[in-house]
Structure 1
Amino acid sequence: MAKAEAPGTEPAPPKSKKLLIIAIVVVALAAIGAGVAFMLKSSNPEEGDGEAPAAKAEKPKPKKKDAATPPTFMPLEAVVVNLADPGVTRYAQVGITLQVEDAKTAEEVKKFMPAIRSGILMAISRRTADELLSAEGKEKLAAEILELVQKTADMEPYKGYSPVEAVLFSSIIVQ
């Protein structure tokens, strides 16, 4: 004999709504995962950047800089240079510190220090006192020295990354 339901109670709703919600969530997660995989694949520096395979093999992969690791500062010996002021003999003493990624990079840069120091002396000696004393002149000199160091040490920027990060002036004295 069939059970009689108590008056006022309704039969339980079917469980297909829960199954439908679970299926939608699974499909959504799969779509998100596929999107993330596509984004990671398309941002891979080794594939699809239009370079020839030989050119790819020559350039090192850019490293991801760990934000928690502080940079290494590499103070250079101060340089004293005659400036290019016409008709007047002026001198500049410039203290420079290189900001590099780590101690290993500092050791690599040290191997090229005679050429780097010579290039720095030449770059400063082409300047006038007014150029060295202006903010714009200092910024241009820092950019030129940075490019010189990166090029000389064979650490030129690749896809916006170089282990030689910045040139900082610790002192500039013009006399």
Structure 2
Amino acid sequence: TEEAPMGTIYSLDSVTVNLAGEGARRYLGVTFFLELDGAEAMKEIEELKPFLLDSLITLLSSKRLEDIDTIEGKNNLRREIVAQFNERLVRGRVINAYFGKFLIQ
């Protein structure tokens, strides 16, 4: 079976947020690579970057440790990010999001 070719890859800025929840403060540091459907999507991501980073920070800081500390939780988060970014994009699409760094402290 042949794999489909990868789309254009865009490296998103590293983000560090406080996780939601009671008790001790936990931090999440992440870096994402976005797989895009082409050059138009790349241009649009650049134009919308401040808004996309803001929505990413809001989404990440709403998560509790137990929401994201499993493989299933990370995969759900990845899908949420793709869906959230695609709601804003008009000319292009995010195909997938990949973790470059995922650090919980």
For the criterion TM > 0.5, the same-fold answer is yes
Tell me what 2:15 maps to: 79
Alignment pair present for 1:147 and 2:58: no
TM-score (norm 2): 0.87
Alignment pair present for 1:163 and 2:99: no
Equivalent positions of 1:19-168 (< 5 A) are 70-154=6-90, 163-168=93-98
Alpha-carbon contact 2:32-2:99 (below 8 Å) kept: yes
Larger fraction in strand: 2
Please state how far the C-alpha of 1:108 moved relative to its aligned partner: 1.4
Please state how far the C-alpha of 1:102 moved relative to its aligned partner: 1.6
Q: Distance in 2 between matches of 1:113 and 1:131?
A: 25
**140-149 or 100-109, which deviates more:** 100-109
**Which of 1 and 2 has greater Rg?**
1
Q: Secondary structure at the match of 1:86?
A: coil
Q: Secondary structure at the match of 2:20?
A: coil
Indicate how the Cα distance of structure 1 residues 146 and 87 shifts in structure 2: closer, same or farther if over 3 A, else same: same
Q: Secondary structure at the match of 1:111?
A: helix
Identify which of structures 1 and 2 has the higher relative contact order when contacts are C-alpha pairs closer than 8 Å and 6+ apart. 2
**127-136 or 94-103, which deviates more:** 127-136
5+ long unaligned stretches in structure 2: none
Identical-residue share of aligned pairs (%): 25
TM-score (norm 1): 0.54
Please state how far the C-alpha of 1:144 moved relative to its aligned partner: 1.0
Tell me what 2:103 maps to: 173
> Cα RMSD over matched residues?
1.9
Q: Match of 1:82, as an amino acid?
A: N
Please state how far the C-alpha of 1:96 moved relative to its aligned partner: 0.8
5+ long unaligned stretches in structure 1: 1-66, 156-161
